[in-house]
């Protein structure tokens, strides 16, 4: 087996993975509440994959109700070394038509009602989000997307909106003026929490439509989005298989793997024991005993 264990978070349209060897369903408890669904584990090309449908199978959970803390926590507890997030998005750029896969590398977070950190009163940490995605995993995913036949763009800014409604036209034009490339409802606080859990994270954004800024196109409707989702999901499955084939046998360490070594600021003697116990899932070497490592 290769040393990688890739956690795959499937977005709209991607609710399962095909072709997994030694397929198992895994239920993992989290002190942060219930994850979106059970995990499915298995192997592709000697790489262990752990799959979680972000909205639950059958798309039961709206963006604002997603328990991103539990989702990231159970993936870490299941042994994931890295996370590949697959998201359906709208395009804010003419050159990013439906069907394009965008490997974003920046975010603007406009969500307002979601817990955005594992840390809090009694145990404070500040992780760096200057470079919010893993360049190594993003580059590998981009190459895999191209090999799967997807028009692929590396780099771009993801505007994370609260939802569940789509943008107003004024909002869409505002986000374009900010230099955003795509718009979605789920990558934040997911990317922040992955960094707090010391999990290198890459975000493959599958464009399903132009957002409502584009006068020549009908405004966003779910029926239009669904037409593109199935095609994108089929390509995403091929991309994931290609990624598994391409990963080297040895997984070199990443600086993200130990990011909390430089982030926790609270004096260990003052840690809230209950919060430290909850944090054991995202960083067992520091928090499993309730004392600093």
Strand pairing partners for 43?
Answer: 21, 48
β-pairing, 106-110 vs 39-44, is unpaired
Catalytic-labelled residue, pool 45, 82, 211, 234: 211
- What residue has token string 């408890």? 29
Q: Are 256 and 195 in contact (CB under 8 A)?
A: yes
Neighbouring C-alpha atoms within 13 Å toward the C-beta of 272? 12
Q: Are 254 and 134 in contact (CB under 8 A)?
A: yes
β-pairing, 106-110 vs 157-161, is parallel
Catalytic-labelled residue, pool 209, 261, 267, 272: 209
252: exposed, middle or buried (Cβ count in 10 Å: 0-12, 13-18, 19+): exposed
211 is catalytic: yes
**Catalytic residues, which ones?**
209, 211
């Amino acid at each position: 087996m290769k040393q990688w264990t890739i956690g795959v978070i499937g977005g709209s349209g991607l609710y399962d993975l095909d072709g997994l060897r030694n397929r198992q369903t895994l239920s993992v408890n989290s002190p942060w509440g219930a994850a979106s669904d059970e995990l499915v584990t298995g192997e592709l090309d000697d790489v262990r994959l752990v799959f979680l449908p972000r909205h639950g199978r059958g798309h039961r959970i709206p963006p604002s109700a997603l328990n991103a803390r539990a989702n990231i926590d159970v993936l870490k507890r299941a042994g994931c070394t890295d996370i590949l997030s697959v998201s359906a998005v709208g395009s804010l750029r003419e050159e990013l038509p439906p069907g394009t896969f965008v490997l974003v590398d920046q975010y603007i977070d406009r969500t307002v009602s979601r817990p955005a950190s594992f840390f809090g009163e009694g145990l404070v940490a500040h992780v760096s989000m200057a470079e919010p995605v893993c360049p190594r995993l993003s580059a590998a995913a981009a190459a895999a997307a191209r090999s799967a036949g997807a028009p692929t763009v590396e780099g771009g800014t993801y505007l994370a909106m609260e939802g569940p409604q789509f943008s107003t036209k004024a909002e869409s034009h505002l986000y374009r003026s900010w230099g955003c490339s795509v718009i979605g409802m789920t990558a934040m606080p997911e990317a922040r929490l992955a960094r707090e859990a010391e999990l290198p994270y890459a975000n493959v954004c599958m464009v399903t439509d132009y957002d409502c800024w584009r006068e020549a196109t009908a405004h966003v409707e779910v029926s239009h989005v669904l037409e593109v989702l199935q095609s994108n999901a089929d390509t995403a499955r091929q991309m994931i298989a290609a990624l598994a084939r391409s990963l080297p046998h040895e997984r070199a360490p990443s600086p993200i793997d130990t990011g909390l070594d430089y982030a926790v600021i609270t004096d260990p003697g003052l840690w809230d024991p209950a919060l430290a116990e909850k944090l054991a899932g995202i960083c067992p070497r520091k928090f499993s005993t309730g004392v600093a490592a």
